[in-house]
Structure 1
Amino acid sequence: MPLDQYVTLGRSGLRVSPLCLGAMTFGEDLGWGTSVEESQQIIDRYIELGGNFIDTANFYTRSHSEKILGDHIGRHAARRDRLVLATKFSGNLYPGDPNGGGSGRKSLINACENSLRRLQTDYIDLYWLHIWDANTPIEETMGALDDLVAAGKVRYIGVSDTPAWKIVEANLIARFRGWSSFIGLQVEYSLLERAIEQELVPMASEFGLGITPWSPLKSGVLSGKYTRANGGGGSADRGAMVDAFLNDTTYALIDELEVIAEAHQTNVASVALAWVHAQAGVSSVIIGARRLSQLDDNVRAVDVDLSADELARLDALTKPRFGFPNNMLDMAPGILNGGTTVNGVTAPTSEYVMPKGAQPY
């Protein structure tokens, strides 16, 4: 699936590339990241390959990420209109100001106006709630977002890093009141981070939200540079989070990724990305690149078509175990439909036996 084989984001008409270019590293304001020149080269290369979906946030590299995109894309109307430009609000850029961040109407609208100015554009294609603000009523946030859509400053809205029950509440309120509702869900998802499969993935499928995973390589752990053979890559600046995942379980996964990568004549990162993209509900996977070479390595994932056997082998190595109520729901087909066929699937006969002395419901 090349970058110009577009997919609709969730239950909407917004067409995006299967890989989204994440701009979190654009700018060196935090002492790390990508220079302005190389950021522009990465943008140009992504667009040259057919990509049309770029994601940033108001506080990435102290807002420099948005400024880089504005200088290179936003000020050129013909180019900007061909792209789906996404950014986020919630982050506070003004320490000490209680209304400098969050999801209240005052901060939200101010954040949007500032992002529009930095991005040098009249509208944002996809505006994400970056992280749930428990101190703001969700109806206030949804009402303010709908006002931005009505004013033509925002085309679509999405939500990131928020509990499933709150997202459902937000969208139901919006639909009952005739407001714009979330069409996309941005969450961490990788072979090493699958907790979203318990609640968020089923919720997104039920309500038609397109999933756009971030950190699909788990902060580079699955990039291919850390292997059992090199003992973790020998990088002194890789960080505690990376070190925490360099264990036998991860190395077993990387070993399997290497076997599959060799079979497809590609690299470990592209196989890991292909697995994420193959998961239920995923529309577009966010890939970050601090170097142009990293972008070229990662976009190879669009050419990797994993077989059912390969997907199953990777799935088996990291499949999470969920507690209640999932452990009960796993028995539901046998309890509810044991031995009968529903929707073309014959359920097994339940092996559930009531404990001695227990009372029925």
Structure 2
Amino acid sequence: MTNAVSPTSPLVLGAMMFGTTIDEHTSFALLDRFVERGGVWIDTADCYSFWASADGQGGDSERVLGRWLAARPGVRDRVRIATKLGAEPLWSGSWPSGRAGLSRRAVRDAFAGSLDRLGVEAVDLLWLHQEDRRTPIEETVEALAELTGAGLTRRVGASNHPAWRIERARAHARVIGSLPLDALQLNATYLRVRPGTRPPGVEHRFGVLSDEQRDYADAHGLEVWAYTPLLAGAYDNPAKEIPEPYDHVGNERRLAALDEVSAEIGATRGQTVLAWHVAHGVRPMLGGSKLDQLDAAMEAVRLPLTSEQLARLDAAV
């Protein structure tokens, strides 16, 4: 692989709705602006976005990215592409019971399809989209080893997996001498959900970043990516309510601390949340559809928080 770009922004541009609810013209504009402002990581998946597509299957996002890469000679050397596999419906309407999964054959076939749609020879990070209890994790790791060994992906990571399966996967990778999973992608924001609840859109039992998952990542040097960090705009848009699972006394105190710090640094709540993630070494993901949203997020991840402000945000419970 020749892509040796150095990351200059911790923000990840999420391409989930490219080609479905976000048209190609807008998608290209967002991608261009992202690169112009120093963005590097672009995240997609083979199943994006089956729920919004005309045929009930994924692939539209990867196809749009592939056309953008083809239309921008040289841009591949300036960006890093991450995609996911394992959650694509086997047929329209079959999700979640009928999905591709993470067997050796499923991984091989899905990844070949992703490379074809993206129009690339390799990707920079391949995610296991969600766990597959039907398949031994060791089989999945061996399938990933074939891809990393052939130079088809630089790194491998896991989204929506419990910490114990990540550990088993990494242990087996060490046994067979392959590259271990080195990144986690999970739902994470400043507010905390009530125990036993999940935020809207999080279908996975282990989809919300827990203290255990974060502790595991810290102890073993795994990168953490946070999806839906801005609660779909609810931090700042008065027309959007903060989802009910976040409605509890502890979050009232956290919102008060967030308002205080936001006022001190001259930023919105959402921008402060992104800055808080970055201060904790977490890579936040943006899935917005407007250039002003992207600009605000690109500015936010460069906002400095003092150690005292960070401690105050962390202490609010």
- Same fold, TM exceeding 0.5? yes
Q: Amino acid of the residue matched to residue 22 of structure 1?
A: G
In the alignment, residue 10 of structure 2 is paired with which amino acid? Answer: P
- Once the two structures are TM-superposed, the CA of residue 54 in structure 1 deviates from its matched residue by 0.5
1:107-153 CA-partner distances (Å, limit 9, x unpaired): 11111011111111111110000111111011110111110112222
In the TM superposition, what is the alpha-carbon distance from 1:246 to its structure 2 partner?
A: 5.3
Task: Give the letter for the 2:219 counterpart.
Answer: E
Matched ranges for 1:151-166 at <5 A: 151-166=150-165
Measured on the aligned residues, the alpha-carbon RMSD in Å equals: 2.4
Alignment partners' CA distance in 2, 1:106 and 1:85: 23
- Does 194-203 or 87-96 show the bigger shift? 194-203
Counterpart Cα distance in 1 of 2:231 and 2:257: 16
- Within 2, Cα distance between the matches of 1:290 and 1:188? 19
In the alignment, is the contact (CA less than 8 A) between 2:5 and 2:77 conserved in 1? no
2:234 to 201, 221, 232: 221
Question: Does 2:265 match 1:264?
Answer: yes
CA distance in structure 2 between the aligned counterparts of 1:220 and 1:136, rounded to whole angstroms: 37
TM-score normalised by the chain length of structure 1 = 0.73
How much has 1:188 moved relative to structure 2? 1.4
1:65 partnered with 2:61: yes
Q: Describe how 1:10-29 pairs up with structure 2 within 5 A.
A: 15-16=6-7, 17-28=9-20
How many equivalent pairs are there?
A: 288
Q: Given the superposition, is the C-alpha separation of residues 77 and 181 from structure 1 closer, same or farther in structure 2, using an over 3 Å criterion?
A: farther
- 2:296 equivalent to 1:291: no
**2:141 paired with 1:136:** no
Do the aligned partners of 2:286 and 2:297 also contact (CA within 8 Å) in 1? Answer: yes
Alpha-carbon distance, 1:288 to partner: 1.7
Structure 1's unaligned 5+ residue stretches are: 1-12, 226-232, 319-361
1:246 and 1:100 mapped to 2: Cα distance?
33
Residue 191 of structure 2 contacts residue 254 of structure 2 at CA under 8 Å; is this kept in 1? no
Within a 5 Å distance, the mapping from 1:155-304 to structure 2 comes to 155-193=154-192, 196-222=209-235, 224-225=236-237, 233-235=238-240, 242-245=243-246, 249-279=250-280, 281-282=281-282, 284-304=283-303
Counterpart AA for 1:60? Y
Query: Counterpart of 2:67 in structure 1: which amino acid?
Result: D
Q: Which moved more, 1:193-202 or 1:203-212?
A: 193-202
2:74 is paired with a residue of what secondary structure?
A: helix
Unaligned stretches of 5+ residues in structure 2: 50-57, 194-207
Match of 2:78 in 1: 82
Q: Which residue of 1 aligns with 2:196?
A: none
Contact map agreement 1:270 1:299 (CA 8 A) in 2: no
CA distance in 2, matches of 1:44, 1:50: 10
Quick one: structure 1 residues 154 and 183, their matched pair in 2 at CA, closer, same or farther if it must change by over 3 Å? same
The share of aligned pairs that are identical, in percent, is: 33
Whole-Å separation in 2 of the counterparts to 1:129 and 1:15:
24
1:196-220: CA deviation from partner (whole Å, max 9, x where unpaired): 3521111112222111111112333
Which of the pair has more CA radius of gyration? 1
